[in-house]
């Protein structure tokens, strides 16, 4: 994942945009939607999935557990069910550290 989640004023993101944010296929996004009940996209008149920022944040939690920490689907579901507040705090710390790393790498490259 490139850790460059957009900070735009968009209300809804398409499945392609969400997949691109995480560097995965749209099929994985659809699969995780079925596997995790915290993901509930809206649908437009055509039936296309439209994800909110909260859905994107939940995908980020799922991505972190499965892809970065190596949890199984069952383990990730249990972890999300047991203590979602702790996971959110951990994720915020990781985001802050990634921003700091990017800043420091930028400073290093300008030297």
The candidate with the shortest Cα–Cα distance to 17, out of 32, 7, 6, 33, is 6
Q: Which neighbouring-strand residues pair with 49?
A: 43
The candidate with the shortest Cα–Cα distance to 64, out of 99, 96, 88, 36, is 88
**Whether residue 7 has pLDDT greater than 80:** no
* Predicted local distance difference test score (pLDDT) of residue 3: 47
* Predicted local distance difference test score (pLDDT) of residue 64: 87
Question: Using one digit for the tens of pLDDT, what is the confidence trace for 94-108?
Answer: 888 888 999 999 999
Question: Using one digit for the tens of pLDDT, what is the confidence trace for 31-51?
Answer: 999 999 889 999 999 999 999
Residue 8 dihedral angles phi and psi, to the nearest 5°: -95, 175
Q: Are 100 and 92 in contact (CB under 8 A)?
A: no
Domains of the chain by start residue, with CATH? 13-110 (1.10.1660.10)
């Amino acid at each position: 994942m490139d850790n460059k989640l957009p900070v735009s004023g968009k209300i809804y993101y398409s499945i392609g945009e969400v997949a691109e944010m995480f560097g995965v296929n749209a099929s994985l996004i659809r699969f995780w939607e079925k596997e995790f009940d915290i993901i509930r996209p809206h649908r437009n008149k055509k039936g296309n999935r439209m994800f909110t920022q909260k859905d994107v944040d939940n995908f980020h939690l799922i991505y972190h557990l499965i892809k970065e920490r190596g949890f199984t689907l069952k383990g990730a579901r249990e972890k999300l069910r047991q203590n979602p507040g702790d996971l959110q705090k951990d994720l915020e710390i990781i985001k802050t550290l990634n921003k700091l790393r990017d800043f420091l790498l930028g400073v290093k490259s300008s030297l």
